[in-house]
Amino acid sequence: MERATMALAFLLAALAASAGANPVNKSCVTGSAGASVSIGYGGAGASAGAGVSLDADCPRAEEIVRAAVEQAVAADPRMAASLLRLHFHDCFVNGCDGSVLLDDKPFFVGEKTAGPNINSLRGFEVIDAIKAELEQECPETVSCADVLAIAARDSVVASGGPSWEVETGRKDSRTASLQAANSNLPAPTSGVATLVQKFTNVGLIAKDMVALSGAHTIGKARCTTFSARLASVGESAKDTGFLQSLQQLCAGSAGSALAHLDLATPATFDNQYYINLLSGDGLLPSDQALAAPAGSGAEDVAALVADYAFDAALFFDDFAASMLRMGRLAPAGGRDAGEVRRNCRVVN
Residue 265 annotated in ligand binding = yes
Residue 107 lies in a domain: yes
Residue 97 annotated in ligand binding = yes
Residue 90 annotated in ligand binding = yes
Tell me how many domains the chain contains. Answer: 1
Can you tell me whether residue 222 is helix, strand or coil?
strand
Residue 246 lies in a domain: no
Q: 296: pLDDT confidence band, cut at 50, 70 and 90?
A: very low
pLDDT higher than threshold 80 for residue 316:
yes
Residue 240 annotated in ligand binding = no
Residue 335 lies in a domain: no
Handedness of CA 62, 63, 65, 66 (dihedral sign): positive
pLDDT given for residue 240 in this prediction? 74
pLDDT given for residue 275 in this prediction? 97
Nearest-angstrom CA–CA distance, 149 and 168: 8
Q: For the residues 117-128, what does the mean pLDDT come to?
A: 96
Mean confidence (pLDDT) of the chain: 85
State residue 164 phi and psi, 5-degree precision. -150, 160
Residue 10 lies in a domain: no
Residue 232 lies in a domain: no
Give 184's Cβ-side CA count (13 Å radius). 22
pLDDT given for residue 102 in this prediction? 98
Residue with more model confidence, 1 or 74: 74
Q: 337: pLDDT confidence band, cut at 50, 70 and 90?
A: confident
pLDDT given for residue 228 in this prediction? 81
Residue 176 lies in a domain: yes
Residue 239 annotated in ligand binding = no
pLDDT given for residue 295 in this prediction? 54
Ordered alpha helix ranges (H), the chain: 2-17, 61-75, 79-91, 124-137, 144-158, 178-184, 192-201, 206-213, 227-230, 240-250, 272-278, 285-288, 301-310, 312-327
pLDDT higher than threshold 90 for residue 287:
yes
Residue 337 lies in a domain: no
First to last CA, the chain: 52
Q: 15: pLDDT confidence band, cut at 50, 70 and 90?
A: very low
Can you tell me whether residue 85 is helix, strand or coil?
helix
Q: For the residues 242-252, what does the mean pLDDT come to?
A: 84
Residue 243 lies in a domain: no
The residues, any chain, with a CB within 8 Å of residue 271's CB and separated by 6 or more, are: 25, 27, 31, 214, 217, 308, 309, 311, 312, 315
Q: For the residues 29-54, what does the mean pLDDT come to?
A: 43
Q: For the residues 220-249, what does the mean pLDDT come to?
A: 77
Domain that holds residue 293: 55-219+261-328
Give the pLDDT confidence of 145-167 residue by residue, as tens digits.
999 999 999 999 999 999 999 99
Concatenating the DSSP letter of every residue in 109-178 gives --STTSTTTTTT---HHHHHHHHHHHHHHSTTTS-HHHHHHHHHHHHHHHTT--EE---B---B-S---H
Can you tell me whether residue 271 is helix, strand or coil?
coil
Residue 270 annotated in ligand binding = yes
* Residues recognised as catalytic: 89
Nearest-angstrom CA–CA distance, 66 and 270: 20
Q: 293: pLDDT confidence band, cut at 50, 70 and 90?
A: low
Can you tell me whether residue 202 is helix, strand or coil?
coil
Give the pLDDT confidence of 188-234 residue by residue, as tens digits.
999 999 999 999 999 999 999 999 999 999 999 999 888 888 776 55
pLDDT higher than threshold 70 for residue 236:
no
Can you tell me whether residue 220 is helix, strand or coil?
strand
pLDDT higher than threshold 90 for residue 244:
no
Question: Which CATH number is 164's domain given?
Answer: 1.10.520.10
pLDDT given for residue 51 in this prediction? 40
